[in-house]
Amino acid sequence: MSESAEKIKCLIIGSGPAGYTAAIYAARADLRPVLYQGMQPGGQLTITTEVDNFPGYPEGVQGPEMMEQFKKQAERFDTDVRWGVITEVDLSRRPFKAKTDEGKLLEAQIVIIATGASAKWLGLKSEAEYNGSGVSACATCDGFFYKDLDVAVVGGGDTAAEEASYLANLARKVYLIHRRDELRASKVMQKRVFNKKNVEVLWNTVPKEITGESEGMGKKVTGVILENVKTCKEKKLDIDGFFVAIGHKPNSDIFKGQLDMDEYGYIITSPNSTKTNIPGVFAAGDVQDSVYRQAVTAAASGTMAVMEADQFLADMEE
């Protein structure tokens, strides 16, 4: 990349809770952070309606509003928040090099990766239509809203089993929809599902469409049309919520071949740390967290990344 690249002290790639929190801490530490928001400014919370489990919001908050507040707080301390996507990186040596979707070249002394992960979806038209209005990819985030109601979870792995088990403690009835005749989840997770009296597994079944209706100014899910993959027969199931639990994909493609990753593409960091295999490069939030995937844990790891980055620079200057 060219010598005309813009010189940056701290480059933050991504703008969810991890990225914005990192920006707040980095700005206060005088690291003069430049943050590129990425394809989905604000991250997954921008497609979430009510957020009730983040500390400091006793009445709850809309996901997009919360992320806008994070952004304003980062800008209050003079973070340079920019539209745009980082499309290329060269992490082979410091200063690290990056290129934006508009062709702008950057050189950074430290890089904090907070690109997050994206939920995998079924691809149904109605799935997108009711996303945030009865369709969710996070039971921990949204399960509370379905207390004593009927819900469905689609999937057959550990994620689906965990979501179904969690929802069983809140919902009146949980239907676990799986296209095969046995779950792919670990034995311990299967046992947990089968021990829940209000969980019913619908084998050899796939969702064809989600049904719903308008409610005031919004929408709500009323059911799902299911198809038996063996008989091809369809039936309608009345439900109040539909949870997609077929996994997440970390947004880490541009770092492949440079950073250590697990088999699913999550960036590997040192234990209890945000340090990657490349000194000066740190990863925070869902791009390196396949376990918790919560806004509050992402924000915490954004803090960790800056504290470790600041120490890294201090050590380099000695």
Tell whether 57 is covered by a domain.
yes
Last residue of a domain, one of 244, 272, 297: 244
User: Which structural domain, as residue segments, surrounds residue 36?
Assistant: 6-118+248-317
What's the confidence (pLDDT) of residue 80? 97
What's the confidence (pLDDT) of residue 39? 84
| Judgement on whether residues 156 and 138 belong to the same structural domain of the protein | yes
Tell whether 280 is covered by a domain.
yes
What's the confidence (pLDDT) of residue 51? 82
- Contact between 235 and 213 (Cβ < 8 Å): no
pTM: 0.78
Tens of pLDDT, residue by residue over 210-258, are 999 987 768 999 999 999 999 999 999 999 999 999 988 999 999 999 9
Number of independent structural domains in the chain = 2
Tell whether 1 is covered by a domain.
no
| Judgement on whether residues 18 and 108 belong to the same structural domain of the protein | yes
Last residue of a domain, one of 188, 218, 244: 244
| Judgement on whether residues 94 and 26 belong to the same structural domain of the protein | yes
CATH number of the domain at 162, please.
3.50.50.60
Count the neighbouring beta carbons within 10 Å of the beta carbon of residue 35. Answer: 27
Q: How far apart are CA 110 and CA 23, in angstroms?
A: 13
Which residues on neighbouring strands pair with residue 108, listed in sequence order?
8, 96
Tens of pLDDT, residue by residue over 267-281, are 999 999 999 999 999
What's the confidence (pLDDT) of residue 229? 96
| Judgement on whether residues 261 and 166 belong to the same structural domain of the protein | no
Strands 205-215 and 218-228: antiparallel
| Judgement on whether residues 253 and 277 belong to the same structural domain of the protein | yes
pLDDT-flagged residues of the chain (< 70): 1-3, 47-49, 217
| Judgement on whether residues 134 and 222 belong to the same structural domain of the protein | yes
The residue type at 244: V
Question: Residue 168 contacts by C-beta under 8 Å, 6 or more apart in sequence?
Answer: 174, 196, 198, 199
Tell whether 162 is covered by a domain.
yes
Which residues on neighbouring strands pair with residue 135, listed in sequence order?
131, 242
Tell whether 265 is covered by a domain.
yes
DSSP codes of every residue in the chain? --TTPEEEEEEEE--SHHHHHHHHHHHHTT--EEEE--SSTTGGGGG--EE-SSTT-TT-EEHHHHHHHHHHHHHHTT-EEE---EEEEE-SSSSEEEEETT--EEEEEEEEE---EEE-----HHHHHTBTTTEES-HHHHGGGGTTSEEEEE--SHHHHHHHHHHHTTSSEEEEE-SSSS--S-HHHHHHHHT-TTEEEETTEEEEEEEEEEETTEEEEEEEEEEETTT--EEEEE-SEEEE-S-EEES-GGGTTTS-B-TTSPBP--TTS-B-SSTTEEE-GGGT-SS---HHHHHHHHHHHHHHHHHHHHHHH-
Give CA separation, 147 vs 24, 82, 128, 169, in Å. Answer: 36, 40, 23, 9
Burial class of residue 76, CB neighbours in 10 A (0-12, 13-18, 19+): exposed
What's the confidence (pLDDT) of residue 49? 65
| Judgement on whether residues 54 and 111 belong to the same structural domain of the protein | yes
Question: Residue 143 contacts by C-beta under 8 Å, 6 or more apart in sequence?
Answer: 166, 167, 170, 171
| Judgement on whether residues 21 and 136 belong to the same structural domain of the protein | no
Angle between helices 158-168 and 187-194 (to 10 degrees): 30
Tell whether 10 is covered by a domain.
yes
What's the confidence (pLDDT) of residue 293? 84
Tell whether 214 is covered by a domain.
yes
Last residue of a domain, one of 200, 221, 244: 244
The residue type at 59: E
What's the confidence (pLDDT) of residue 56? 93
Q: How far apart are CA 114 and CA 210, in angstroms?
A: 32
- Contact between 287 and 14 (Cβ < 8 Å): yes
What's the confidence (pLDDT) of residue 44? 79
What's the confidence (pLDDT) of residue 108? 98
Opening angle at CA 28, ends 22 and 33, nearest 5? 55
What's the confidence (pLDDT) of residue 48? 66
| Judgement on whether residues 19 and 157 belong to the same structural domain of the protein | no
| Judgement on whether residues 88 and 30 belong to the same structural domain of the protein | yes
Structure tokens at 35: 């943050």
What's the confidence (pLDDT) of residue 313? 96
| Judgement on whether residues 255 and 106 belong to the same structural domain of the protein | yes
What's the confidence (pLDDT) of residue 288? 97
Active site residues: 138, 141-142
| Judgement on whether residues 16 and 127 belong to the same structural domain of the protein | no
What's the confidence (pLDDT) of residue 41? 83
Count the neighbouring beta carbons within 10 Å of the beta carbon of residue 170. Answer: 16
